[in-house]
Amino acid sequence: MKNLSHLFEKNKHWAARTTAQDPEFFSKLSQQQSPEYLWIGCSDSRVPANQIVDLMPGELFVHRNVANVVVHTDHNCLSVMQYAVEVLKVKHIMVVGHYGCGGIKAVHDNAKLGLIDNWLRHVGDIKERYQDLLDQAPEKDRLARLIELNVIEQVRNVCRTNIVQEAWAKGQELTVHGWVYSLENGCLHDMNAVFRCQNEFETSYQEALEHVAMRVRGIPIELVVNK
């Protein structure tokens, strides 16, 4: 089926159903977007950003890539961040990983997938950096801990970009968060990685790492008191 007509049919039904529920939906949506949030997440088809946080189209600006990686040479990601921060004036950036991430599992298992191995090398560096900590966790939990560490490190990368640094220097209201989504129950988990300004940067980073270390030691993340 060259023209994917079934998807056009689904689109037609969706548009009609949406209009029936709210006749002004598309006219309002066509106006200038003004989201307060930028979501940097994984490309996994099971992690639909808007639906997870129950926000309407226009309320969440989104960038997704395999394993929710933020690299300072990735002009695609940086362009999204710059537009979100400098033009849309978002107030929050959320880096969102998810348990069971296939990309991070490939790194965890030392699997070889081809070209994408070069992209996942960024996650491999994180695994090597925290191998001693990961080795302390039960084997069945190590993938989850690596996923959490990856989120924290990507949050740190976001905060170190000139985009966020300049926003903070100008006094712009901007907070960066690290979350992990559970495919099993649909719930988000706060990694205690919350960065509001440059002065908090190192303290917040160390607290987030300690949050994961506590999980390794068997202390449930929900029992850790957030700031």
CB distance 134 to 142 below 8 Å: yes
- For residue 94, the cross-strand partners are 39, 177
CB distance 53 to 60 below 8 Å: yes
Phi, psi values for residue 95, rounded to 5°? -95, 120
Q: How far apart are CA 169 and CA 207, in angstroms?
A: 23
89 secondary structure, DSSP code = -
Amino acid letter, residue 37:
Y
199 secondary structure, DSSP code = G
Which positions are catalytic?
A: 42, 44, 46, 98, 101
Q: Which two tokens stand for residue 157?
A: 């990368």
SS3 track for 169-191: HCCCCCEEEEEEECCCCCCEEEE
